[in-house]
Structure 1
């Protein structure tokens, strides 16, 4: 919903997922004051796709900011990724020029506001019935001492997690 103070603000966030390019294009097409931005948005999206094609692992966290005066400006979320991207700029520049883009230089800006989320690791350890029996035996025979308390708790958690799973 648009507020009276900011009548042309587009809220492109939907939960954690960004609005797709079609939604942004549709919004710009149907808004007379913002429709002149549509060619720039389309150009930047095309450049973004070309860059992702050439540098998929690095460019997943980066974005095209602007193309002005034959200079492409890219954003990186941190200095480490910016450094890796800078090493790849000759390759990227050559590819873009071969694709017909009139670009003579590439600049990189570090913009920390875009966060890099690491995917949650999924534990996939599956124990055989023999292994689970060995852990049960260890838990039962382990002396109850102060030093063994954490180990006994860990064994109990491990056995509780794996008791309901099929073996």
Structure 2
């Protein structure tokens, strides 16, 4: 019942002169997204969204670089399909916008992964100490000694 009230309110708001253009643009973008989702493989469509079309350039937001790369490879055929559908698009720009998708994905901690602090065994500490004694004075030697000292109480 609540969603019905919200939808009624939004429909009413969309008919007011101040918001009519905004709601019209949002509905057109939604319809364009549905069409676009049918033109690209489903595994890609769920990881990208359409942005604006300006001066014949369609902007697509991709979740990550791999998705962006695949879309870039497919962009000539996507462009042709869009033009066949009557879209006035002459080029496609693909941007990576990972933060837009981050709120919809689970973090590693949510999936059950926990970050454990690794401990250096006594044998490992002894071997590193022995290695440090054989090295000439250098930054490497100082770093190894500092590392062993840091992990002395583990």
- Kindly indicate whether residue 21 of structure 2 is the aligned counterpart of residue 72 of structure 1: no
Whole-Å Cα distance in 2 between the matches of residues 73 and 47 of structure 1?
12
Task: State the 1:61 CA deviation.
Answer: 1.2
Separation of aligned partners in 1, 2:30 and 2:24? 10
Tell me the TM-score normalized by structure 1.
0.51
Gaps of 5+ in 2: 107-154
CA-to-aligned-CA distance 1:131-151 (integer Å, 9 cap, x gap): xxxxxxxxxxxxxxxxxxxxx
How far residue 30 of structure 1 moved from its aligned partner, in angstroms, is 4.6
Q: How far did residue 76 of structure 1 move?
A: 0.7
Q: TM-score, normalised by structure 2?
A: 0.55
1:35 to 20, 33, 56: 20
Pair 1:61–1:26, CA change in 2 (3 A): farther
Question: 2:54 matched to 1:54?
Answer: no
CA distance in 1, matches of 2:46, 2:90: 23
- Higher Rg: 2
- The residue correspondences of 1:11-160 to structure 2 (distance < 5 A) are 23=7, 26=11, 29-30=14-15, 32-55=17-40, 56-113=42-99, 114-115=101-102, 117=105
User: Residues of 2 paired with 1:57 and 1:67: CA distance?
Assistant: 23
Write the distance in 1 (CA, Å) between the matches of 2:94 and 2:12: 29
Q: CA RMSD in A?
A: 2.7
Which residue does the alignment assign to 1:156? none
Structure 1 runs, 4 residues or longer, greater than 3 Å off: 22-25
Q: Please give the alpha-carbon distance, in whole angstroms, between the structure 1 residues aligned to 2:44 and 2:13.
A: 30
Alpha-carbon deviation of 1:94? 0.8
Give structure 1 stretches of 5+ with no counterpart.
1-18, 119-167
> 1:72–1:107: 8 Å Cα contact kept in structure 2?
yes
1:33 is paired with a residue whose SS is coil
Q: Matched residue pairs, number?
A: 99
Q: Measure the CA separation in 1 of the matches of 2:58 and 2:85.
A: 14
**Shift in Å, 1:108:** 0.8
